[in-house]
Amino acid sequence: MPVVENAPVTITAFEWVPDFARGYVRDLRPRWACEEIGLDYAERLISAVERPDWYFGEQPFGQVPVMKDGALKIFESGAILLHLGEKDERLLPKTGQARTDALCWLFAALNSVEPYTLEVLLLKFSIDEEWAKLRLPSLAGFVEQRLDLLADALGEKEYISGRFSIADIAMATVLREALHTELVRLRPRLHDYVARCLARPAFDKALSAQLAAFNRTETQKEKSSS
């Protein structure tokens, strides 16, 4: 596992989050990319509950992840994936249409799919509120149409831009959040695509690393309070 103290690359993540968010925090994306290419990284854990003031100087919205690579500071998981992609062709082809396709799908995942799947999920989370009940049908209709087009574009391809790339790390983590809803479950092509991405050993290692950090924090808290 490439979590290594004092590695030149550092990923900032949360030290603890509530159960429902575990395994879904966005530092999962750069962790996954690092695991794909065996790049060591150190963790810097901050509080999600009381985000330190200084952190907003590194991440304008107080979100995770932030990556440091030597003297370089990078925020936004899309920009971090792009940065890691430039390090290794296994994450992003160097030239040509293959490179362009991976970049187009990286942006598509973050700007044309995630905003809508996330809105549906937040809405289901708020489904006891009247506005959410009233809004769900029309929003779900739009998102279903979009996912049908995504499934068409995927076609028989193994990965969204052909060969595995940072675009799949973005798209699979976006769709995974809706994996157990009918949005993805009723679209076998998308469901199989996400399953194929998540079956990669690097994903499993990334997920374990995120969860391990939460467990360490809880163990430390239990020790200090006992």
* Shortest distance in whole angstroms from residue 127 CB to a second copy: 12
Q: Is 138 exposed, middle or buried (0-12, 13-18, 19+ CB in 10 A)?
A: exposed
Nearer to a second copy, 67 or 209 (CB): 67
**Can you give the binding site for a second copy, defined by CB under 8 A?**
56, 60-63, 71-79, 82-83, 96-97, 100, 103-104, 106-108, 110-112, 114-115, 118-119, 129-135, 146, 149-150, 152-153
What's the first-to-final CA gap in the chain, in angstroms? 31
Nearer to a second copy, 129 or 204 (CB): 129
Spatial separation of the C-alpha atoms in residues 164 and 71, rounded to whole Å: 29
Contacts of 11 (CB under 8 A, 6+ apart): 27, 30, 31, 34, 41, 42, 43, 44, 65, 66, 67
Over 147-193, what HEC string results? HHHHHHHHCCCCECCECCCHHHHHHHHHHHCCCCCHHHHCCHHHHHH
The residues that bridge with 69 in the sheet, in sequence order, are: 9, 72
* Shortest distance in whole angstroms from residue 225 CB to a second copy: 33
* Shortest distance in whole angstroms from residue 78 CB to a second copy: 4
Nearer to a second copy, 65 or 214 (CB): 65
Nearer to a second copy, 77 or 210 (CB): 77
Q: Is the CA virtual torsion 27, 30, 33, 39 positive or negative? A: negative
* Shortest distance in whole angstroms from residue 42 CB to a second copy: 19
Nearer to a second copy, 184 or 209 (CB): 184
* Shortest distance in whole angstroms from residue 219 CB to a second copy: 33
Cis peptide before 65 (omega within 30 of 0): yes
Helices assigned H by DSSP within 38-91? 77-85
Nearer to a second copy, 73 or 185 (CB): 73
* Shortest distance in whole angstroms from residue 149 CB to a second copy: 5
